[in-house]
Amino acid sequence: MKVLNGISIAVVVSLIPQALLGELAKALLPFWSGAATIIAITGLASSMLPAMIGILVGMQFKFTPIQTACVGIAAVCGSGVAQVDPDGGFHLQGTGLVINAGLTAAIAVGLILLIGSRLKNYTILVLSVIVTLVAGGIGWAVTYPAVKALTVWLGGLINGATTLEPVLMGIVLSTLFAFLIVSPISTVGIATAIFMEGVASGTANLGAVATGFTLLIIGWKANGFATSILHVLGSPKVQMANIFSRPITLLPILSSAAILGGIGGAVGISGTPISAGFGISGLVGPLAALNYEGWGWSTGNVIIVALVFVAAPIALGFLFTFVYSTLLGWVKPEHYKLDFE
């Protein structure tokens, strides 16, 4: 749970700048050259996610600055965010494999706890060497290939659903991505790996949208406005620890996603490989749908997109909050409480 909490906070810190400003800056780029700087630095912030995961996981265990920094280095090594450039140095792109960054951070934490205070005055000289080579090396050479293979397999499984009838495909993909968006697995990484396109991408994106709005509504009383809106404007991944500690909290999310995905499949909501994993943050999903071939910015299309991306998920969020919280009492707002202190 401490590792998942660390990942959740890291997601907020590293990904929110790009989620809020990325698409806006791209839209402003033809008219304002300064937007390129915003795109660059928010993109760099997102690539810092593995380092933030390691540091914030270390803080969860109340490590010393040296120990925390060691976990951060190990997490970067295991994430794959930095690939060796044949011409020298490293090529930094994307966020890496979030799940392996978290796994490597956990290995580093275990190693540091095992070492304890045995190094004494030699800690500053030796600890970073041990953690980097052992935990970072395991993440780099052992777990990364395995996790990457798992990601590819999962992508192939999801790709199989794209051959289904549109409404059924929408239900399946939306539900799958609703689960993935609250897991350590990168929805964007999966979608881009299998080049998810068209209605498959659009309905997968709706899974993230449904998750964001449902979490906003069902946890409102416990989290208040500022924290609740993170689920929509940022990423629902902030709920990872809560979801995994109490799996029944998935029910409102998956129920909402299934219906919204079916609606999206019926009306043909489409998207790109990049938009599939983003939800509505930065308006990535709605803009991709409107700009997709065969759609366009007609009044009718704008209304359809507004209904599917905003009105419907809000209505479904209230519906399943009533069903699972008020009527059945299976979940409570406190189950979705977030604490970033």
pLDDT at 93: 82
pLDDT at 112: 94
User: Which residue, among 200, 233, 237, has the nearest Cα to 52 in the 3D structure?
Assistant: 237
Radius of gyration of the chain (CA): 20
Strand blocks (E) in 69-192: 82-84, 90-92
What mean pLDDT value characterizes the chain?
88
Distance CA 319, CA 306 (A): 19
- Give the global pTM: 0.73
314 exposed, middle or buried (CB, 10 Å; 0-12, 13-18, 19+)? middle
Q: Is the pLDDT of residue 213 over 70?
A: yes
DSSP assignments along 80-102, one per residue: --EEE-TTSSEEE-S---HHHHH
Give the pLDDT band (50/70/90) at residue 17: confident
